[in-house]
Structure 1
Amino acid sequence: MSTSPVQELVVSGFGVTSAIGQGAASFTSALLEGAARFRVMERPGRQHQANGQTTAHLGAEIASLAVPEGVTPQLWRSATFSGQAALVTVHEAWNAARLQAVPGHRIGLVVGGTNVQQRDLVLMQDAYRERVPFLRAAYGSTFMDTDLVGLCTQQFAIHGMSFTVGGASASGLLAVIQAAEAVLSRKVDVCIAVGALMDVSYWECQGLRAMGAMGTDRFAREPERACRPFDRESDGFIFGEACGAVVVESAEHARRRGVTPRGILSGWAMQLDASRGPLSSIERESQVIGAALRHADLAPERVDYVNPHGSGSRQGDAIELGALKACGLTHARVNTTKSITGHGLSSAGAVGLIATLVQLEQGRLHPSLNLVDPIDSSFRWVGATAEAQSLQNALVLAYGFGGINTAVAVRRSATES
């Protein structure tokens, strides 16, 4: 973790594309209304047919993607679904932060997520299995995560720096941390962090279900009840397509362009659990929370709201609440973003941060769906409807397979106080 910032870092703009809403305005409205979109997933490559039977999975899928004005048609046509989502989302963040006025060599891009185009690759492999010599040349680049780097840097003429970071479901928040570090080190003046859309195929869905991480068919007839983080009836996470992009820069740099910050990044931390498995530990999650709060010079009692990882994993949810309790955060308000959006995997941390910024701005906490019987009732849960709440300081958490723990503290912008 870095030392305390010598300059105030802000989020000057963001973009979000999800199953509940495309663009910040529709996302905000759906989030506060708790308008989830869970059903049996129908996108090609997410079902498997064998012996006359179809294996399907529940999730939330984006209805459609429209080509943003100004995006190169050739780039759009050659992009995978993950790539198109990245172009749409970065386009919104770019315009929101007015980055047209910033020289390209002073802008950076960090893409959070690995193996994010699996469904597209499976479809192509299936299509060319019997005619491998005729495989489309595009496969040579789209199987690499840097394909999203190339798409976005070419479209937006970004020349400063760019790379991908992999942290499983912590990837989106890890990208934000890396973007903040890049700006603090003055490698660039502005850095865009993208939580990429992880386009899972039936292989990933089945593998995650087999290991007990992804939800079963228990709520197949009632998909709206399936996603229930921190509830005693939860049996795993429910996938939700999403992509989030956050623009990070210094407050002064944004101010010079006349951009009003959407929130302040006050502190962050990353802590490894030294474990290959899917679960972290109370000890390590407590350490990353404590480190982020110290970095932000923020006492636990000053945290108004926590946006938890809250995937719906029974063991993972219990560990997370144990860590929050150990850090003295039972007084903070808590809700469950994934109960509305689904679990975006690589995009989850970025979407959680955007959901937090929205709630800080609006002074409203979004509802927690299906939280009927919390596994720990000592927390100040937000119920089934949105609640008005004055918020100043918040904590966003994201944890990934392989023991990767991340935490980011954010503060409401002074212009909103």
Structure 2
Amino acid sequence: MQNADAGRIVVSGLGVTAAIGQGQAAFTRALLEGRHRFDVLRRPGRQLPDADYGPPFIGAEIDGLTMPESIAPGLLRTASWSAQVAVATLHEAWHDAALDRVAPERVGLIVGGSNVQQRDLVLAHDAYRGRADFLRPTYGLSFMDSDLCGLCTQQFGIRGLAFTVGGASASGQVAVIEAIHAVASGRVDACIALGALMDLSYWECQGLRALGAMGSDRHAINPAGACRPFDRDRDGFIFGEACGAIVVEKLDTAVRRERAPYARLAGWAMRLDANRNPNPSADGEIAAIEGALAGAGVTPRDIDYVNPHGTGAPLGDTTELDALRRCGLQHARINTTKSIVGHGLSAAGAVELIAVMLQMKAGRLHPTRNLDTPIDPGMRWVGAEVVPHRIDNAINLSMGFGGVNTAICLQRHS
């Protein structure tokens, strides 16, 4: 059954910030060149205080953030790192979509992510331990993820709707799906889906390492070689700071503002495994893929590009490839954005959707780093070099702990 608004829901604006670059232009250049920033994590609060616990945590961190002049410094004085990056990233998408020409009460914001400011909280707890009476009053606001909604709606005058949604590592794509529903139902004319930067502290890094989800013990002395989705030598995901903002609206409203859509959001689906644990389910992933294809009214043969979840988790990668094969998608080109930017967790789904649309615009597919020995050499991998390719129908997959499976089909607008 085709989604009622398939063909009419489009993306009219994009904003992106990642370790490899801030803004569409810098991000696209680095992506197509396969440039990375993997290293030992150096942001305060990211390494265990006791070095005897194991090798240092590695990942990719944003090296400086350019804040637009129009954003008042006072607004950011007590804002967390997640909130600062959110405001800067949303600024790009806001102006890209010319949302200042939409009535404020007809604009919405959905922030994808839960518990995204943990490092900021740990630093505050450490700084005020034993002197809680001196805790800054704004902590009563900033410890909540909804503070990102408050900062962004204040800065941009958004008066339609704003709330957060959580789907673990699928949060960014869940936010896009909810933005589609907000627009399709007429609650707002334009809705921004923001995949928020998840600011891990050493507690979360240690917990994810202990769980066996986060690498890398094997590649700790070679951070550049640690992030290797779908390679036989993978040992877990490698964190990467990132944030993505996607403006969703109906085609007619975008056309009225003379915005050329990046793509049509033709089909989407979210399916659950009824499972609290982190282990993936091929059946759940298949259900999400098939739901998105049915919603878009396309067959597997119509899909010419897949951007997978592809974290580098030993079980997760094999399960995902099994799902792709069982859905008949072996013929589609495939690369892994996380191999370049790392795993943005709550931001991942939004950032990877943006990567799909920027590749669609460029007519090229970015390389896949560290794919030396693919676990399934029969898939149509994009290897170490950029590949010219026209994307007409793509599917983006994003999964999360707790059995969350999401898929979105994108189609070229013209």
Bin the TM-score by the shorter chain. Answer: over 0.9
CA shift in 2, pair 1:319/1:154, >3 Å:
same
Counterpart code for 2:346: S
Deviates more, 1:184-193 or 1:62-71: 62-71
- Look up the match of 2:62: 62
- Distance between the aligned counterparts of 1:279 and 1:134, measured in 2? 43
For each residue in 1:292-345, what CA deviation from the matched residue of structure 2 results, as whole angstroms up to 9, or x when unmatched? Answer: 000000110000000000000010000000000010000000001000000000
Counterpart code for 2:272: L
- Distance between the aligned counterparts of 2:255 and 2:288, measured in 1? 31
The answer (yes or no) to whether the contact 2:269–2:407 under 8 Å persists in 1 is yes
Task: Report the 3-state secondary structure (helix = DSSP H, G, I; strand = E; otherwise coil) of the residue aligned with 2:66.
Answer: coil
The answer (yes or no) to whether the contact 2:264–2:412 under 8 Å persists in 1 is yes
- Look up the match of 1:25: 25
- Distance between the aligned counterparts of 1:2 and 1:189, measured in 2? 22
- Alignment map for 1:366-405 (pairs within 5 Å): 366-405=366-405
Indicate yes or no: 2:270 matched with 1:259: no
Task: Report the 3-state secondary structure (helix = DSSP H, G, I; strand = E; otherwise coil) of the residue aligned with 2:266.
Answer: strand
Task: Report the 3-state secondary structure (helix = DSSP H, G, I; strand = E; otherwise coil) of the residue aligned with 2:22.
Answer: coil
| 1:53, distance to aligned residue in structure 2 (A) | 7.2
Indicate yes or no: 2:352 matched with 1:349: no
CA shift in 2, pair 1:29/1:210, >3 Å:
same
For each residue in 1:350-392, what CA deviation from the matched residue of structure 2 results, as whole angstroms up to 9, or x when unmatched? Answer: 0010000011111100000000111111110000010001210
- Look up the match of 1:149: 149
- Alignment map for 1:275-286 (pairs within 5 Å): 275-286=275-286
| 1:73, distance to aligned residue in structure 2 (A) | 1.5
CA shift in 2, pair 1:391/1:7, >3 Å:
closer
- Look up the match of 2:326: 326
- Distance between the aligned counterparts of 1:220 and 1:190, measured in 2? 44
CA shift in 2, pair 1:300/1:2, >3 Å:
closer
- Distance between the aligned counterparts of 2:53 and 2:358, measured in 1? 43
- Look up the match of 2:71: 71
The answer (yes or no) to whether the contact 2:397–2:407 under 8 Å persists in 1 is yes
The answer (yes or no) to whether the contact 2:6–2:267 under 8 Å persists in 1 is no
CA shift in 2, pair 1:6/1:252, >3 Å:
same
The answer (yes or no) to whether the contact 1:65–1:85 under 8 Å persists in 2 is yes
- Look up the match of 1:9: 9
Counterpart code for 1:126: D
- Alignment map for 1:91-106 (pairs within 5 Å): 91-106=91-106
CA shift in 2, pair 1:51/1:40, >3 Å:
closer
- Distance between the aligned counterparts of 1:404 and 1:14, measured in 2? 25
CA shift in 2, pair 1:59/1:410, >3 Å:
same
Runs (5+) with no aligned partner, structure 1: none
- Alignment map for 1:12-411 (pairs within 5 Å): 12-50=12-50, 56-411=56-411
- Distance between the aligned counterparts of 2:313 and 2:103, measured in 1? 44
- Distance between the aligned counterparts of 1:192 and 1:264, measured in 2? 15
| 1:106, distance to aligned residue in structure 2 (A) | 0.2
TM-score by length of 1: 0.97
Deviates more, 1:141-150 or 1:6-15: 6-15
| 1:3, distance to aligned residue in structure 2 (A) | 3.7
| 1:76, distance to aligned residue in structure 2 (A) | 1.6
| 1:51, distance to aligned residue in structure 2 (A) | 7.2
Deviates more, 1:191-200 or 1:132-141: 132-141
| 1:6, distance to aligned residue in structure 2 (A) | 6.3
Deviates more, 1:65-74 or 1:15-24: 65-74
- Distance between the aligned counterparts of 2:132 and 2:54, measured in 1? 26
Counterpart code for 1:99: L
CA shift in 2, pair 1:58/1:6, >3 Å:
closer
The answer (yes or no) to whether the contact 2:7–2:265 under 8 Å persists in 1 is no
- Distance between the aligned counterparts of 2:389 and 2:87, measured in 1? 34
Counterpart code for 1:171: S
Counterpart code for 2:8: E
The answer (yes or no) to whether the contact 1:46–1:56 under 8 Å persists in 2 is no
The answer (yes or no) to whether the contact 1:2–1:181 under 8 Å persists in 2 is no
CA shift in 2, pair 1:248/1:128, >3 Å:
same
Backbone CA RMSD of aligned residues: 1.3
| 1:54, distance to aligned residue in structure 2 (A) | 7.8
- Distance between the aligned counterparts of 1:196 and 1:152, measured in 2? 12
Deviates more, 1:173-182 or 1:62-71: 62-71
- Distance between the aligned counterparts of 1:368 and 1:76, measured in 2? 36
| 1:259, distance to aligned residue in structure 2 (A) | 0.7
Instruction: Give the total of aligned pairs.
Output: 414
- Report % sequence identity: 58
The answer (yes or no) to whether the contact 2:3–2:296 under 8 Å persists in 1 is no
- Distance between the aligned counterparts of 2:119 and 2:71, measured in 1? 24
Counterpart code for 1:390: R
| 1:72, distance to aligned residue in structure 2 (A) | 1.8
- Distance between the aligned counterparts of 1:217 and 1:55, measured in 2? 7
| 1:212, distance to aligned residue in structure 2 (A) | 0.4
Task: Report the 3-state secondary structure (helix = DSSP H, G, I; strand = E; otherwise coil) of the residue aligned with 1:48.
Answer: coil
